[in-house]
Amino acid sequence: MIRFDGRVAVVTGAGAGLGREHALLLASRGAKVVVNDLGGSVSGEGGNSSAADKVVAEIKAAGGEAVANYDSVATREGGAAIIQTALDNFGRIDILICNAGVLRDKSFAKADLDDFEFVFGVHYFGTLYCAHAAWKHMNAQGFGRIVFTTSIAGTSGNFGQSNYGSAKLGMVGLMNTLAIEGQKNNVKVNCISPGALTRMTGNLGMDEDFMEKLKPGLVSPAVAYLCSEECDVSGATITAAAGGFGRVHMFETRGVQFDPAKGVTIEQVAERFDDITDLTRADPCTPGAEGKIQERLDSLAR
Ligand code: NAI
């Protein structure tokens, strides 16, 4: 059985929806949990302590250990205070699940730049501030598990979600580099791309039978696995919805190589554009700056 005894976890936005399920599952398997939530509306207005308090009470009632934190992830001070809550109450930080989120959907034609900054503040910067505050502790102790919460709105796009989707994909970029930098100290950083019926998705007008299957608790086992000692993967984006799981990844096509010594014309690119973009000949992107450059140059010699 995979357990988290002796581990200390922070779950942001854990007062409701997915975060609550993640917190309850980790606590039920022995983790001490900081339940962070500022308790605002879906669009991020207002706040109260009852959301986090309720989940702490649920965990305690089930025999687990938890403490509440009501700071916003969206400020540097908030991110630092959330991690400090784990250190002050439980003496360490092993697991960080960045889950807090808000929605301010509008088509790009009607986009309000204040909404962009607000949504980036919670999703991208909120993730960054918490990860930054936890990073040195995890690296120093030689163990850390971090899960960011991305979305199909970022990996594939969704009408009306330009602010949310771009913030969500930004954290995948952050993960890619942190996965490389954390490797030597056993700090693994992954993303979850969930699908679940919560107050956030409740008003999206999807088919009711379909929404019924989207129980938030069906996402948490994947998140918990990514937080476990047993997990050896870093830099992966795992999709989880309705009991189905998969992986999202960037690919680069094999593409086309012209002779660099002879130069390349616009017409050559136009002529071979179908081959350049042919996704049936593609490989997963790998870390590092070289990408496929050398591989394609080598293909010239063959
Ligand atoms: P939810 O609205 O039930 O939960 C989000 C929680 O984050 C709320 O309790 C809220 O109070 C808290 N929160 C918001 N701003 C905060 C801040 N600045 N500091 C601390 N806490 C804050 O929504 P849900 O669906 O559980 O979403 C959880 C995460 O999953 C979000 O990041 C969301 O974008 C993401 N997500 C959800 C999907 C779904 O199908 N439900 C799909 C893709 C991503």
The ligand 1 atom at the shortest distance from the C-alpha of residue 78 is 19
b/e code 41-62 from CB counts within 10 Å (16+ = b)? ebebeeeeeebbbbbbebbeee
For helices 76-90 and 126-141, give the axis angle rounded to 10 degrees. 40
Mean pLDDT of 231-254: 97
Please report the pLDDT score of residue 247 as a whole number. 98
Q: β-pairing, 65-69 with 32-36?
A: parallel
State the distance from the centre of ligand 1 to the C-alpha of 11, rounded, in angstroms. 11
The ligand 1 atom at the shortest distance from the C-alpha of residue 164 is 34
ipTM for the predicted complex: 0.99
Please identify which residue in the block is written with the tokens 């989120």: 101
Structure tokens at 62: 């089930």
Instruction: Pick the closest to residue 187 from 227, 133, 149, 221 (CA basis).
Output: 227
Instruction: Pick the closest to residue 233 from 291, 174, 198, 187 (CA basis).
Output: 187
Q: What SS3 class is residue 34?
A: strand
Please identify which residue in the block is written with the tokens 């009632």: 61
Sign of the torsion formed by the C-alpha atoms of 287, 289, 294 and 296: positive
Catalytic positions are 164
185: pLDDT confidence band, cut at 50, 70 and 90? very high
Distance from C-alpha of 128 to C-alpha of 75, rounded to nearest angstrom = 10
Q: What SS3 class is residue 143?
A: coil
- The string of pLDDT tens digits covering residues 78-120 is 999 999 999 999 999 999 999 999 999 999 999 999 999 999 9
Alpha helices in the chain (DSSP H): 17-28, 50-61, 76-90, 113-120, 126-141, 152-155, 162-182, 208-212, 220-226, 266-271, 273-276, 293-301
The ligand 1 atom at the shortest distance from the C-alpha of residue 214 is 40
133: pLDDT confidence band, cut at 50, 70 and 90? very high
Q: Letter for the amino acid at 80? A: A
Please report the pLDDT score of residue 203 as a whole number. 60
- The string of pLDDT tens digits covering residues 25-46 is 999 999 999 999 999 899 899 9
Q: Letter for the amino acid at 236? A: A
212: pLDDT confidence band, cut at 50, 70 and 90? confident
Say if residue 211's pLDDT is above 90.
no
Q: Is residue 40 in contact with ligand 1, taking CB distance under 6 Å?
A: yes
Q: Letter for the amino acid at 279? A: L
Sign of the torsion formed by the C-alpha atoms of 14, 171, 222 and 180: negative
> Dmax over Cα atoms in the chain, in whole Å?
73
State the distance from the centre of ligand 1 to the C-alpha of 199, rounded, in angstroms. 9
290: pLDDT confidence band, cut at 50, 70 and 90? confident
Q: Is residue 39 in contact with ligand 1, taking CB distance under 6 Å?
A: yes
CATH topology of domain 8-247: Rossmann fold (3.40.50)
301: pLDDT confidence band, cut at 50, 70 and 90? confident
Q: Is residue 165 in contact with ligand 1, taking CB distance under 6 Å?
A: no
Instruction: Identify the residue whose C-alpha is closest to ligand 1 atom 29.
Output: 99
300: pLDDT confidence band, cut at 50, 70 and 90? confident
- Total count of residues recorded for the chain: 302
**What's the number of CA atoms in the CB half-sphere (13 Å) around residue 144?**
30
Question: Mean pLDDT in the chain?
Answer: 96
How many helices (H) and strands (E) would you count in the chain? 12, 10
292: pLDDT confidence band, cut at 50, 70 and 90? confident
269: pLDDT confidence band, cut at 50, 70 and 90? very high
* CB contact set of 184 (below 8 Å; sequence gap of 6+): none
Please report the pLDDT score of residue 204 as a whole number. 64
Q: Is residue 51 in contact with ligand 1, taking CB distance under 6 Å?
A: yes
Pocket test for ligand 1, best of 198, 201, 220 (most atoms within 8 A of CB): 198
Residue 24 near residue 59 (C-beta atoms within 8 A): yes
Task: Determine how many CB atoms are found less than 10 A away from the CB of residue 33.
Answer: 30
Listed by start position, the domains of the chain span 8-247, 251-301
